Structure 1
Amino acid sequence: MQIAFSLFVFVSAILCLVFVAGAFYVYLVAFRADHREIDESILTPADANVKIGKDRIHFLISDILDTPHEVVTIRSFDGLELCAKYYHHADGAPLDILFHGYRSASCRDCCGVFRISKDQGHNVLLVDQRAHGRSGGRIITFGIRERHDCLSWINYAVERFGKEQKIMLIGLSMGAATVLMASGMEMPRNVVGIISDSTYTSPRDIVLKVSRDRKYPENLVAPLAKAGAKIFGKFDLDETTAVDAVKNCKKPVLFLHGEDDFFVPCRMTRKVYAACASEKHLVAFHNNGHCANYVFNTERYVNEINKFSKEMFSR
């Protein structure tokens, strides 16, 4: 009997160690970020469809990098130094705050909307999300902690530019999920609208979707991702979702997504759109991949954003 019990304890301990090791691996792959210099692998999108427009993307990125700016920093709610670049056009102009996607760079993901904001004569705050670029941190939480950073940047803008400063939040991919998750929290009246390009429904959904794409068993990845986030990342993967957050949203939202997005499927935006309780508008772009709407459907993309932006800032 004692031998059987000892064997049970031994096997249980081995299984626990294997599970924890698996959770650590998922944590490293999905949530852990190691800062690196901006290079070709970041600036050139992996999406084969977008590679066709690589030259144009590089031109837009160069425009951002060559535009005079001020590097600004704030302290996050949990003590990280967060960094952004501020591009000043005119005193009193509307302010667009831009948020990039997962393991990417602000100058790449936001190059299209930056050009739109610049052409509109808006001031721009181009944010490096936590664990990206010059911002501190080593853990990517898919919008769960980033939503608090979004509110911190809004508060920074209001404190710096005044209580009458009008603000538009614009996010792409994880940046879109970030601003939508933030929309479920109390926001200053300065925020007049939100533009979401290619959001996912929840951190869990996108982690599992990518794991399915890579042929990993979902029933195994789900508990490992949950445990890895909790044990090593110190956050709850299911703390909030874009779907739940927008049920409490009070700001007008423009939803944008490419119908041929195979990384973050358009159906995810449709689900978030359906749950959104505020004024909303959805625009789907046929034949466009992930965050490729500006490059391949420029006129329509620009017109939709300009129309929404002009209406919101004029209220």
Structure 2
Amino acid sequence: MKKLKHKKLWVSLIVIILLVCLLFTGAGYYFFTVACVPGEKSFLSSSSKVIKKSDPLYREKIWFKKTAKEKWYMTSADGKYKLDANYIPHKNSSKTAIVLPGYMDTKEDMGEYDALFHELGYNTLTPDPRAQGKSEGNYIGYGWPEKDDVKKWINYLLQKTGKQQQIVVYGLSMGAATAMMTSGLKLPQQVKVFIEDCGYTSVKDEIEHEAGVLYNMPAFPRFPLVEILSGINRLKVGYFMGNASSVNQLHKNHRPMLFIHGSRDNFVPTRMVYPNYKATKGPKEIWVALKAKHAKSFSKHPKEYKKRVATFLAKYIK
């Protein structure tokens, strides 16, 4: 009789464990879809496409809207996807800024940044990341597979415009993380400078933060869910999220980098800029923009933003 009771107890425990595992796996797939599959995201604020005169960056956005763009196309670094980009030449300039959009943003959302660099005398190359805008792709890579695409864009740019180029890689939000991750690669000597605005320390850190902030999820079940999501990401996208680290890549970087972050950033928390800044090995500067929310440092402080970017670039690009 006791053996029968013990057997039933063990069967019950095994069933409960299996049910919990199924529940967590199902939840992991759900959050993977929310985080990594392109589509409408309820947690992102929808920005109006109407450009209002009250917008502090009205002039830059109108310039971009009216400016002719060349369409450039390239196959992704892994050979799977056709990627799409805008190229805006600046007379006979041999300076080019590669401008990297954020999460679920497109090259068309980066017009004010194209305008900023154009005003400083740069050509701009602004690609849609894989699975965003008009670029092909099944999953958002949060910068890790995209870093290899950026390296290929750099080489493609040099092939099309010549070896005399001086290149700055600029990124916003996910694009900033992509820029930092790219900085740890072996790159052509024409890449002179990096500028990152509100990038995260690692994909895993950012996903854990979003789970806590967006879903008010406590440490448990957040920790096992993120681990399961990371495993699914390994199967679908090709990497574990903890390995996609801006900090680790920055340890390999010796080029100059300007770090920008809003002091009121709750989406990619302001605290993340400090380990990123500490990690890089090259010349560096940091600016925490007062009272700026996520990806709003430029619109909050347009004159100071331009001045800081221009001053930093002038130190390293002729």
TM-score, structure 2 as length reference: 0.87
**CA distance 1:29–1:113, shift in 2 (3 Å):** same
Question: What residue is the counterpart of 2:144 in the other structure?
Answer: 144
Conserved? CA contact 2:28–2:226, under 8 Å: no
1:180 aligns with 2:180: yes
Question: 1:47 maps to which residue?
Answer: none
2:33, 2:54 → 1: CA distance? Answer: 29
Distance in 2, Cα, partners of 1:313 & 1:146: 25
Compare CA radii of gyration and give the structure with the larger one. Answer: 2
User: What residue identity is the alignment partner of 2:262?
Assistant: G
The residue matched to 1:89 in structure 2 has which SS? coil
**Is residue 96 from structure 1 mapped to residue 117 from structure 2 by the alignment?**
no
Q: Is residue 72 from structure 1 mapped to residue 76 from structure 2 by the alignment?
A: no
Match of 1:83 in 2: 84
**Structure 1 residue 41: deviation in Å?**
2.4
Give the drift of 1:159. 1.1
> Residues of 2 paired with 1:174 and 1:54: CA distance?
27
Letter in 2 for 1:14: L
Higher RCO structure (Cα 8 Å, ≥6 apart): 1
- How far did 1:17 drift? 2.7
Tell me, yes or no, if the aligned pair for 1:57 and 1:111 is still in contact at 8 Å.
Answer: no
| 1:90-169 map, 5 Å | 90-108=91-109, 110-169=110-169
User: Structure 1, unaligned stretches of length 5 or more?
Assistant: 45-50
In structure 2, what residue type is equivalent to 1:266?
Answer: T
CA distance in 2, matches of 1:58, 1:132: 25
Distance of 2:302 and 2:159 partners within structure 1? 34
- Partner amino acid for 2:269? P
Q: 1:21 aligns with which of 26, 32, 45?
A: 26
Q: Could you report, residue by residue, the CA deviation over 1:98-121 in whole angstroms, capped at 9, with x for unpaired residues?
A: 00111123332x333222112112
Query: What count of residue pairs does the alignment treat as equivalent?
Result: 304
Q: Which runs of 5+ in 2 are unaligned?
A: none
Aligned to 1:188, the other structure's residue is in SS state coil
**Structure 2 contact 99–126 (Cα < 8 Å) conserved:** yes
Q: Is the 8 A contact 1:84 1:127 kept in 2?
A: yes
Identity of aligned residues (%): 26
Paired AA for residue 107 in structure 1: E
Partner of 1:32: 37
The answer (yes or no) to whether the contact 2:94–2:164 under 8 Å persists in 1 is no
Q: Give the CA RMSD over aligned residues.
A: 2.5
Change (3 A) 1:300 1:171: same
